[in-house]
Homo-oligomer: A and B are copies of this chain.
């Protein structure tokens, strides 16, 4: 437990991890905004924090892991001038915003389950904490930093910056921000363009709205995480995580809000996961350089020829460190799939290898090195490299080039299972999936034989195949050159 080092974005360096309360860890991770299907970059973030959660729990910490659902307040373009993302989607589809929220919350949970991630211990929603957010706004106004204009309340960044440091997380200076913040005339009633909304007045057409001391409105996006993290983890907690794109302005604003309310920094360790690219370019819906998890699983997409299982994708994610940019390409995924299959085969093989002699491989040292990798800022690629040392070893034992004692076999089995299933949270290959592809492969062989028979004018064999397939519920459809099948 004592040797865990974690990269702290706030300090721009690795620090020894010591929790505030002995043996307990409070961790908050910014969850999805549920207005569309969760995108792959977000999945990588949540899978990375699942690894961190699993490892902390494995080390014996009692972890309270809070990951929120943003179901209101997230404004387009992440500024205060756009429209609430969920409200907009509901308006366009002419349905109740909470129907959007429900649809994509269910989708998100399903996807996370496919990736075999654990549920957080608390999963609070922004709309479930309006009162808490209103109470915080009152405090920020009382502290002289929040100000009301026309039914909206803003956070005065300039005033805050006089006694504190706005930009400490993202290493930005307010004076530089001033030149870079766009200001659209007439669309904004803030004192300064850099200020951010704590409460937004709801225009008459805005569906999501709650009464407040400043009239009907809805909370600003940054506030929800301060409200929920402090409610469930206290004014100061151990870890706050999220994607790198949230560092500014979202997390910077969270720090400002919390410091203003409690006069202290809210978080010990800020952890940020890096972005993903697709075929070397930024993933983006607008340029169509984008792929949804389900389309990657099914193989039905115009980016890749092959389908990839959630386990393989997860394994691929872990082959890069969470702080590295990860580029998704088909060739890289294919080679990951091979590696994943090799690893899984070895895990099967280890039960069958015969005890004979003793291996020269230092298993205890290997175990220490595996922990060493994880203790070095959750370095999963190094851990995976270590796992492949054992894959090689198991193959040598199988080939009779190396011996293995019972004690060694038991140790290897135990720690392979711990690192692969408990900590990395990988799963064994899906049997149904394998069966599916095998089924198709065999059908293709049958079709090949039948096409050959038709070509050779051996209609007896061709008809035999058709009738036999028919009898087990598979229909053949003969086209001029080839035949297709469909399974009932």
Contact bitstring A126-148, B, C-beta under 8 A = 1, else 0: 01101100010000000000000
Contact B435 A449 (CB under 8 A): no
Contact bitstring A441-465, B, C-beta under 8 A = 1, else 0: 1110110110011000000010011
- State the CA gap A247–B465 with chains docked (Å): 59
- State the CA gap A64–B131 with chains docked (Å): 27
Q: Which of B102, B123, B348, B468 is in CB contact (< 8 Å) with A445?
A: B468
Considering only CB atoms and an 8 Å cut-off, how many residues of chain A contact the other chain? 54
Asked if A488 is at the interface (CB within 8 A of a chain B CB), the reply is: yes
Q: Given A96-B232, A351-B488, A473-B352, A465 and B438 touching (CB < 8 A)?
A: no
Contact A445 B446 (CB under 8 A): yes
- State the CA gap A372–B328 with chains docked (Å): 54
- State the CA gap A123–B431 with chains docked (Å): 32
- State the CA gap A473–B434 with chains docked (Å): 12
Contact A99 B122 (CB under 8 A): yes
Asked if A210 is at the interface (CB within 8 A of a chain B CB), the reply is: yes
Q: Which residues of B contact A472 (CB under 8 A)?
A: 352, 438, 441-442, 445
Asked if A292 is at the interface (CB within 8 A of a chain B CB), the reply is: no
Closest beta carbon of chain B to A354's beta carbon, Å: 9
- State the CA gap A438–B431 with chains docked (Å): 14
Q: Which of B135, B211, B452 is in CB contact (< 8 Å) with A461?
A: B452
Asked if A432 is at the interface (CB within 8 A of a chain B CB), the reply is: yes
Contact B127 A130 (CB under 8 A): no
Q: Which of B96, B127, B453, B465 is in CB contact (< 8 Å) with A64?
A: B96
Chain B residue at smallest Cβ distance from A473: B351
Chain B residue at smallest Cβ distance from A119: B106
Contacts A64-B99, A445-B469 aside, 19 further interface pairs with beta carbons under 8 A come to A64-B96, A96-B232, A98-B122, A101-B122, A102-B123, A128-B128, A130-B130, A131-B210, A131-B211, A348-B473, A431-B432, A435-B436, A438-B472, A438-B473, A438-B487, A441-B472, A445-B446, A445-B465, A449-B449
Between-chain CB contacts (< 8 Å), 6 pairs: A102-B120, A102-B121, A131-B131, A131-B210, A351-B488, A449-B465
